[in-house]
Amino acid sequence: MRYIKLGRTGLDVSPVAIGAMTYGEPDRGHPVWSLDEESSRPLVKQALEAGINFFDTANMYSYGSSEEILGRALAEYANRDDVVITTKVRHPMRPGSPNSSGLSRKAIMTEIDNSLRRLGTDYVDVYMIHRLDPATPLEETLEALNDVVKAGKARYLGASSMHAWQFAKALHLQERHGWARFVTMQDHYNLLAREEEREMLPLCADEGVATMVWSPLARGRLARPFDQAATGTRAATYGAYADLLYRANADSDRQIIGALGTIAEQRGVSRAQIALAWLRRNPVVAAPLVGARTAQQIDDAVASLDIDLTDEEARRLEAPYTPRHDFQGVSDEREMERIKASIPGYANL
């Protein structure tokens, strides 16, 4: 495994991260896709044996069960100081408790301690805000996060999915007040969703912020032929939500996925390996978050690190792309919420 620095920090991470949203007791929030502890642990062990040292979770994933499973597996299979753990805060954790969500000082100070307890560790390497909280002044959130770092409960800070101007404002406030800065941005980026190339990725490159890419395979669309339906309960659950993100660009997506399949066939590798190798061409991308449910998915992620696409191959993958809504720019928020609410186990995403 070849390790890289996370942005402008001195932290060494594998250029592939395991996204642990997949792991969690099914009766703790996400029954249709969560792998229980018995099924999750071998995958964590396999990732470690492959040299992956980067693991991402969140307090909301299966209402803390993901953190618990990941924490116990890492404690058994790894030395704590040899792995990099990130977790996130923002979404509701206790139904009926108004201060169990959001980014108030109270919520942050409570939830970091809860996350550390579930993970079984004294600190996390990167503590991230899962989304912005419009009901809390940004200064309150950023000062509280700074205090988390100063208390030794987190080594670094990160953010996820927001508009570039919002992230720029947060970075400015952190610099102005001398607070710990965000060193990572976890955003939505793949061959079928490249709108972050307009503003967010250039901003991150200029500020030395590394990106951790969620949905690097576009909910699995980049891992199979365009007309091949997803199978399995997790895929079916994701299907309606994925349609909201990608439905308006079928003609373009068909061409991109077709080119992806051709290049994969020519190289004798999987489609997933080519899609992940394309992400690595962008120097601001530190690591895709791979929500591995199978050993093969981890093997594909690691194998992608040995693939260097040519400029001509990249051009073939990129040329059919057409502008589209990004995650933050979905035109009908009510429709998004309606679709989420209709999907079992997706109510809290």
pLDDT for the residue 271:
98
pLDDT over 80 at 34, yes or no: yes
- Which architecture characterizes domain 4-342 according to CATH? Alpha-Beta Barrel (3.20)
The DSSP secondary-structure symbol of 181 reads P
Choosing from 3, 23, 61, 246, the catalytic residue is 61
Extended strands (E) in the chain = 4-5, 12-13, 17-19, 54-56, 84-89, 124-129, 154-160, 182-188, 210-214, 285-290
- pLDDT, tens only, 140-190: 999 999 999 999 999 999 999 999 999 999 999 999 999 999 999 999 999
What is the average pLDDT score of the chain? Answer: 90
Backbone dihedral angles phi then psi of residue 103, each to the nearest 5 degrees: -125, 35
Q: What is the three-class DSSP state of 169?
A: helix
Lowest mean pLDDT among 93-97, 305-309, 335-339: 335-339
Angle, CA of 299, 304 and 305, to the nearest 5°: 110
For the chain, give the percent of residues with pLDDT over 90. 79
Paired sense of beta strands 4-5 and 182-188, if any: unpaired
pLDDT for the residue 235:
55
Please say if 61 is a catalytic residue.
Answer: yes
Q: Torsion angle of alpha carbons 16, 36, 74, 43, nearest 10°?
A: -40
What is the arithmetic mean of pLDDT over 305-328? Answer: 90
Helices (H) and strands (E) in the chain, counts: 12, 10
Task: Let me know: does 48 contact 77? Beta carbons within 8 Å.
Answer: yes
pLDDT over 90 at 303, yes or no: yes
Task: Let me know: does 317 contact 278? Beta carbons within 8 Å.
Answer: yes
pLDDT for the residue 327:
52
- pLDDT, tens only, 215-230: 999 989 999 999 886 6
Q: How confident is the model at residue 332 (pLDDT cuts 50, 70, 90)?
A: very low
Write the Ramachandran bin of 251: left for phi over 0, alpha for psi from -120 to 50, otherwise beta.
alpha
Cα–Cα distance measured from residue 181 to residue 140, given in angstroms and rounded to the nearest whole number:
14
pLDDT for the residue 211:
98
- pLDDT, tens only, 222-279: 999 998 866 654 555 555 556 556 666 889 999 999 999 999 999 999 999 999 999 9
Decide which of 33 and 163 is more confident: 163
